[in-house]
Amino acid sequence: MTMTPEVANYFGFSGMACIIFAYAYTTARQQPNPFVQHGVNLLGAALLTVSLLVNTNPASLVLEFFWAAIAIYGLARAVLKKQGGGA
């Protein structure tokens, strides 16, 4: 099944909304929940990546790779901290 560019744009706009929400959430909260912050950022990066696989923009695709990697790192630190392992 092939995704149309229009459907890919819905994925992209949804991902963009996730990333904007996560940034606003982090800015508005005194102590943001890292699972919300990094989880929503990871979801946003994944949705934007789906969009970029159809509507290709290599620079943005690389950006989303790093965005996702940072979010995964943040989630891993949050899990370790919750388990009492520091980080």
**Average pLDDT, 10 consecutive residues per value, the chain (87 residues):** 92 98 96 97 97 94 96 96 75
Q: Residue 2: its pLDDT value, please?
A: 85
Taking the alpha carbons of 45, 55, 53, 5 in that order, is the dihedral positive or negative? positive
At 83 the pLDDT is 87
The amino acid present at 86, given as its one-letter code, is G
Q: Two tokens at 65?
A: 């790779």
Number of CB atoms found within 10 A of residue 22's CB: 21
**pLDDT value of residue 1:** 73
The confidence score (pLDDT) of residue 87 equals 55
Helix, strand, coil percentages, rounded to 5, for the chain: 80, 0, 20
Dist CA 32 CA 25 (whole Å): 7
- The DSSP secondary-structure symbol of 83 reads T
